[in-house]
Amino acid sequence: MINCTLDSSRLQWGMTFYDYIYNSGNLSLINCTLACAVNNTGSLIIDNSGIPGGTFSNYGELEINNVSWLDISGNNRPDGPWNNLVFYSGDAFIRNSSFSSITKDLSISVKSGNLYIYDCQFTDFSGTFTGASGNASITLINTTMKNNKRAIRAFDYIPSITMINCTFEDNNDVLSADNAVINNCTFINNSKVITSNNTYVNDSVFINHTADSILRIQADCTISNCTFENNSLSSPSGVVLLSGVAINLLPNGNNEMLIVDNVFKNNHIDTVEGITTAGYMPMDYTRNGYGTDISLGAYYRSNNFMGSNNHLVIANNQFINSQTTQKAGAIFINFNETCEDNSLEISANIFENVKSESETIIHNNTGNVLITDNNYVNCTIDITEFTLSSPVEDNIIAVGDEVALTINTALVNPEFYDANILDNYSIVVNDTVIESTTDNTYTFVPEDYGTLNIKVTTPVIEDESNIVVVYVNKYELTVNPILAEIDGNTDISVNALINDENIDSGRVYFTVNGKILRDQSTGKILYADVSDGVATLSDVNVTKAWNEDTEIVAVYQANNDVPSFTSDTVNPTITYPEATEPEFTVTDATATAGSEVTITVTTKNLGNGKVVLKVNGKTVKANDGKLYAKVTDDTTTFTYTVPKTLKSGGYTIKAVYTSGTSKLESEGVLTIE
């Protein structure tokens, strides 16, 4: 039938009723208007038609293509919805159709069989899809539902539903199902989203919701590659069954739950008030605290509400800017403590800027738990200790001395997190990070003077340690260049500074080759007083033991608040006295027989030694009567008495000098007149 109108309406008691038109064969309606109730047991195709109202009951094969489902204005039964589609059996297809601006409640019921909805638009209408038996299923592909304000869910108690490439926006409530498969769908600003048992959600987006829960799952589930973003959730006071959370898990037992590769970003939940609802137990807020993004067992009706042998894996997710006034910032796990063999894995997740009352993660599983390879940045984690200590705290040390630090940390609930979660520290000195370390001890050496305010931070939490204060002084003792002449005297001077300022008190002593310089007569240490940054030790004897490898060190003696400190080692520049040749000569003399004559021997630059003098082969005694004279000066003299018998003429004078193995000789002439 083409371009026709089927009208079975009748007016009764002031209302419009629609009588059934029956089809048991093969019927196609094209470009028609249907103002009737339809009962189909055969094959019915409705294409490019308008349907203003009436009940459709399908027991056969039904295709609705390119149809606009129209509103009935003002002619509605007082006891319930008037616009109905009821699928009792068989397969039904609704393609490329529009359900728009329908103010009356539209009821679409799948009693049995399969309903396929492709490329349809549900906009500004009030309607509900329901399922009645375990073999009823609905499949939606490339379909949009927007602004459905029906008080109950858009898809209510569906045994099995599949959604692919669909968009749901600004709806009151979206879905309740026993089995749900959702792929590549977008959910925006719906009051409530999904309540389901076996649930598989992949590659989907959930944004801008203010519902109490986005996903509420009560059996097996896989949630993967999804994004939950900018959701501001709440659990209204007085409704104990609702919990503000992106994913609310309520497993009954023997459930496998996999939540992997998702992004939870900028989600927030409000404070929940503990109100008892009739028929249910009150909230136990000593155990419950909610997680903004994932909660398991966030409420309970009895101790047996959740069963045993549940296995939950939360892996490779990102939790970013999760905010809550509840106890758990991102994840809250509350297995039934009377049940057994529940396992939990939280691994390889990123937690960044997760804020809550006390923790980022809370769980109560004491059995099979694996929490590993997670990364935490600026999160709320309850700690009992995060302190820094040092043996030189509040002390004065010198540049070059070590500052040893010990970091002490302790969590209130370490079992909630990875082992050694806090072992990632930044050492901060005067608001500058100087090093990062995973160790609980750290040592560094200050390179300049000043006051050091030292603290430790960790990217894991917002807290930071206490501040350790260390005072560092720079002590400088500089020995000025030393010029020293062997067998002479020299002055040794130093410049003494503290923090680049002159020291004006105290005294300095010196060591030469490790030995302290002392007074040779008294043995006392030789000190030089410091004044205006300078100290000088004068007339230091330079012995022949000095050379250019001689090591000279200055030592400042501790004084008041200034500790003892030393200079670097200095080597002197050595000079030697000018070298001279020894002179050993005997002077000629003239005398008469029987007279005394003085004979002079020159002994210059000879040092200690002996001189023996002979005249005409005979030894002349020294003035002290000895057969030799000691050399004490540049000249040595002998007095010789000339024998009276000695005839006139010249006689040989011979002088011999000896000193150790050294020997010198000289001859002169004694002339007798």
Calpha distance 655→634 (Å, rounded): 15
Measured in whole angstroms, the distance separating CA 440 from the mean position of its chain's CA atoms is: 14
Distance (Å, rounded) from C-alpha 23 to C-alpha 29? 11
The answer to whether residue 283 scores a pLDDT higher than 50 is no
3 or 269: whose pLDDT is higher? 3
- C-alpha to C-alpha distances, 106 to 32, 149, 163, nearest whole angstrom: 21, 11, 20
Whether 278 has a pLDDT exceeding 50, the answer reads no
Instruction: Tally Cβ neighbours within 10 Å of residue 306.
Output: 25
Q: How far apart are CA 199 and CA 174, in angstroms?
A: 14
User: What is residue 455's predicted lDDT score, i.e. its pLDDT?
Assistant: 97
pLDDT on residue 17: 64
**Residues 348, 564: Cα–Cα separation, whole Å:** 55
Nearest to 386 by CA among 414, 406, 400: 406
Of 168, 185, 173, 273, the C-alpha closest to 216 is 173
CA distance 551 to 526: 17
Reply yes or no on whether the pLDDT at 237 is more than 70.
no
> According to the per-residue pLDDT averaged within each range, which of 2-11, 88-97, 463-472, 651-660 is highest?
463-472
Q: What stretch of H or E contains 49?
A: none
**Which pLDDT band, with edges at 50, 70 and 90, does 439 fall under?**
very high
- One-letter amino acid at 482 equals I
CA neighbor of 83 nearest in space, from 106, 102, 110: 106
Residue 127, pLDDT above cutoff 60: yes
Q: Which helix (H) or strand (E) holds 318?
A: strand 318-320
Task: Please report the pLDDT score of residue 286 as a whole number.
Answer: 38
Candidate from 50-64, 449-463, 566-580 with smallest mean pLDDT: 50-64
Choose between 457 and 231: higher pLDDT. 457
Residues in the chain: 673
DSSP state of 521: T
Question: pLDDT tier at 128 (50, 70, 90 boundaries)?
Answer: confident
Question: Which phi and psi angles does 414 have, rounded to 5°?
Answer: -60, -25
| 470/462 Cα distance (integer angstroms) | 24
C-alpha pair distances (Å), 513 with each of 179, 421, 570:
92, 55, 10
The pLDDT of 298-320, averaged and rounded, is 74
Tell whether the model's pLDDT for residue 317 goes beyond 70: yes
133 CA to centre of own chain: 55
- Bridge-partner residues for 490, per DSSP? 540
Q: How far is CA 294 from CA 175, 180, 214, 269, in A?
A: 19, 19, 10, 12
Q: Which long-range contacts (CB under 8 A, 24 or more apart) does 548-553 make?
A: 548/572, 548/573, 548/574, 550/512, 550/513, 550/574, 551/511, 551/512, 551/513, 551/514, 552/479, 552/482, 552/492, 552/510, 552/511, 552/512, 553/479, 553/510, 553/511
**Pairwise pLDDT comparison (451 vs 309), residue with the higher score:** 451
Residue 238: how many other CB atoms lie within 10 Å? 10
Q: What pLDDT score was predicted for residue 224? A: 96
| pLDDT higher than 90, residue 140 | yes
Q: Give the model's pLDDT for residue 501.
A: 94
**Mean of pLDDT values over 112-139:** 85
35 — pLDDT class (breaks 50, 70, 90): confident
Rounded-to-integer distance, Cα 558 and Cα 563, Å = 4
pLDDT in the model for residue 59: 87
Q: Give the C-alpha separation, 3 to 17, whole Å.
A: 23
Tokens found for residue 534: 């300078």
Q: What pLDDT score was predicted for residue 109?
A: 82
Assess contact for 56 and 86: CB atoms under 8 A.
yes
Q: Does the pLDDT at position 347 exceed 80?
A: yes
In which band, very low, low, confident or very high, does the pLDDT at 273 lie, cut at 50, 70 and 90? very low
pLDDT-based confidence at residue 205 (cuts at 50, 70, 90)? very high
> Is pLDDT above 50 for 281?
no
Most confident segment among 76-90, 103-117, 503-517: 503-517
290's torsion region: left (phi>0), alpha (psi -120 to 50) or beta?
A: left
- The whole-angstrom separation of Cα 669 and Cα 673 is 13
Reported as a single tens digit per residue, the pLDDT across 243-255 is 456 787 878 888 8
Q: Which of 473, 472, 402 is CA-nearest to residue 443?
A: 402
Tokens of 523: 């043995």
104 falls in which pLDDT band (50, 70, 90)? Answer: low
pLDDT given at position 393:
97
Q: How far apart, in whole angstroms, are the C-alpha atoms of residue 361 and residue 416?
A: 6
Q: Which amino acid is at 135?
A: N
Overall average pLDDT of the 608-614 stretch: 90
Inform me whether the pLDDT recorded for 331 exceeds 60.
Answer: yes
d(CA 24, CA 335) in angstroms, rounded, equals 55
Kindly state the tokens that stand for 169: 């926006």
